[in-house]
Structure 1
Amino acid sequence: MRNLALKTVLVFLLSFTTQAGVVVLNGLTHTSSGNSGDIIEGEIVLLNTTDQEQRLIFKLSDALYSCGSTRIFSDSLTHTQSSKSWFLGSLMDKVLIPKEKYVYKYALKIPKDYTVSGTFWSVLMIEVQKPIKKERLTQQIDLDTKVRYAIGLITHVNQKSEVNLDFKNVLLQEDEDHKNSLQVNLFNSSDYVEGVRLNLEVYNENGDQILKTKTKRLMVFPNMCIDYNLDISHLKTGSYQCLLTADARKEYVGTNISLSIK
């Protein structure tokens, strides 16, 4: 039987797995702030955890976001907030010897254009080209495991504008196990990426607070939306008044909600 090669590619902005032979020690999202003409320096710390050499390939890509669809990484497509042309660094191959720690240095050169403002971003792709392990399965199938990290390089430029968030939709959802949740669609109308956390307070008909919960803080890109889910499965049948707030840069945007659980 002819051997088949299966390649598993892990694509990110997710936490690493314990199977990764090369790991990123200082995070998958690197955020900085600067003004027109600034040069911002950064570094990515990598560690080869194995007893074998690991070959790395560095490439620069764009990440495209849109409401209602998944993020796309692209070498050819771009967008108005791309910082690819600002990138100063070596896009090369690098072989790490066993147990080697390697510091990849780069810089971002913000244009000397004082009309430029907003958040700009690009993605440094780091692929571990040499298989971490290769196993011959009983069915004569070769399993090659590879890892590719997408390091988000996010730059806030001439940051002045206020937080501008809008609750586009709030829906009561019931899953297949009959558990209720609130699905909230939040839109970021500003020119900056915002780290947003939602907070929900629920009050019964007597005005007593019976639930207080919050979400994880998620990045909402400029002129894009994102969905949040808030677990309210512990609420009994009845009518409730709710205060929903979005927290970003220590500023709050809120709305009142009347909720009926049947």
Structure 2
Amino acid sequence: MIRRILFLTTLLFSVCFLKANIVILNGLSHNHKVENGQVYKGRISIENISNQPQSVKLFLQDFTYQADGSINYTAPNTNIKTNTNWIKLNTNLISLKAKEKTEIFYEITVPKQITDSGSYWSVVIVEPVENIKPSNEKQGINITSVVRYAIQIITDVDSEKAKPDLKFESVKIEKEEGKQILKIAIANKGNLYCKPTATVEIYNKKNGEKLGTFSSLTMGLLPQTSKSFLIDISKMPSDKYNAVLIATDEEENAFAINVELEVKND
């Protein structure tokens, strides 16, 4: 998952630039099936894509997110399902030459007695270290905003004993960039991380004829979090319809609900 943090200044004549000098090469979500008392290893691959040397710091945080778009990054051990104490990074600061690639290694030591099965998680924040440099051309200073990455480290303990429980929280249609977008807020009330896809089957209200099936992108959903799944239904003409919403995870567990939709294309 990527979060852009803009550090703003109120000084007159200040200038703000957004840079992404580094990229993560092996994904923003690392999932491990683990057992009590065992040790597991992982890696984070980083590349400096700029033409200048770049220092990068790494640290652990807890986090959660909700369908309204809010993302909360908090100190380690503030989430009851945190695994921050299980994870040890081999370094917290690296220096990369221009165009250089490297790997950061981490070790997960699972406690010997975890009584609650399910997913435990945290994120490794990967953040370029930027210098604030005086400006010779204008009053004030130039502040360079940086792109930092939050890499999920998810550990599933006794996953065969746990399961997701998907609930539909809200359904609405909004027009975005000339398209009719069905927004379905889905929450995972269970105790296991999953990767659901939302699908809508649309039917004629008068005769029950099936008129179309549309699906969202697949997204990961942690326990006790929610996300908004977006489905383009612009092909449907203005009218009122019956519909079935279906959330299906990678294990083919399906959760469904009947709704009425009103599409307004004018």
TM-score band, normalised by shorter chain: 0.7 to 0.9
Letter in 1 for 2:254: Y
In the TM superposition, 1:46-57 aligns within 5 A as 46-57=46-57
Partner of 1:16: none
Letter in 2 for 1:200: V
Structure 1 residues 91, 178: closer, same or farther in 2, change over 3 A?
A: closer
Q: Give the CA deviation at 1:86.
A: 0.2
Partner of 1:255: 257
Which moves more between the two structures, 108-117 or 160-169? 160-169
Q: Partners of 2:212 and 2:120 in 1: how far apart?
A: 38
In the TM superposition, 1:23-62 aligns within 5 A as 23-62=23-62
Q: Partners of 1:144 and 1:170 in 2: how far apart?
A: 39
Q: Partners of 2:215 and 2:134 in 1: how far apart?
A: 44
Q: Partners of 2:260 and 2:64 in 1: how far apart?
A: 36
State whether residues 41 and 108 of structure 1, in contact with CA within 8 Å, keep that contact through their aligned partners in structure 2. yes
TM-score, reference length from structure 2:
0.80
Q: Partners of 1:241 and 1:137 in 2: how far apart?
A: 64
SS in 1 for 2:36: coil
Q: Give the CA deviation at 1:41.
A: 0.8
Partner of 1:15: none
Partner of 1:213: 214
Q: Provide, for residues 138-168 of structure 1, a one-character-per-residue CA deviation record: whole Å limited to 9, x for no partner.
A: 6455242433221111111110234422223
Partner of 1:201: 201
State whether residues 64 and 78 of structure 1, in contact with CA within 8 Å, keep that contact through their aligned partners in structure 2. no
Letter in 1 for 2:100: E
Q: Provide, for residues 238-261 of structure 1, a one-character-per-residue CA deviation record: whole Å limited to 9, x for no partner.
A: 443322210112221122234455
Partner of 2:165: 164
Letter in 1 for 2:244: L
Q: Provide, for residues 43-62 of structure 1, a one-character-per-residue CA deviation record: whole Å limited to 9, x for no partner.
A: 01111223322111111111
Residue ranges of structure 1 left out of the alignment (5+ in a row): 10-18
SS in 2 for 1:219: coil
Q: Give the CA deviation at 1:177.
A: 8.4
TM-score, reference length from structure 1:
0.81
Q: Partners of 1:177 and 1:88 in 2: how far apart?
A: 44
Letter in 2 for 1:217: T
Partner of 2:225: 224
SS in 2 for 1:120: strand
Residue ranges of structure 2 left out of the alignment (5+ in a row): 1-10
Q: Partners of 2:114 and 2:143 in 1: how far apart?
A: 52
Identity level (%) = 26
Which moves more between the two structures, 41-50 or 64-73? 64-73
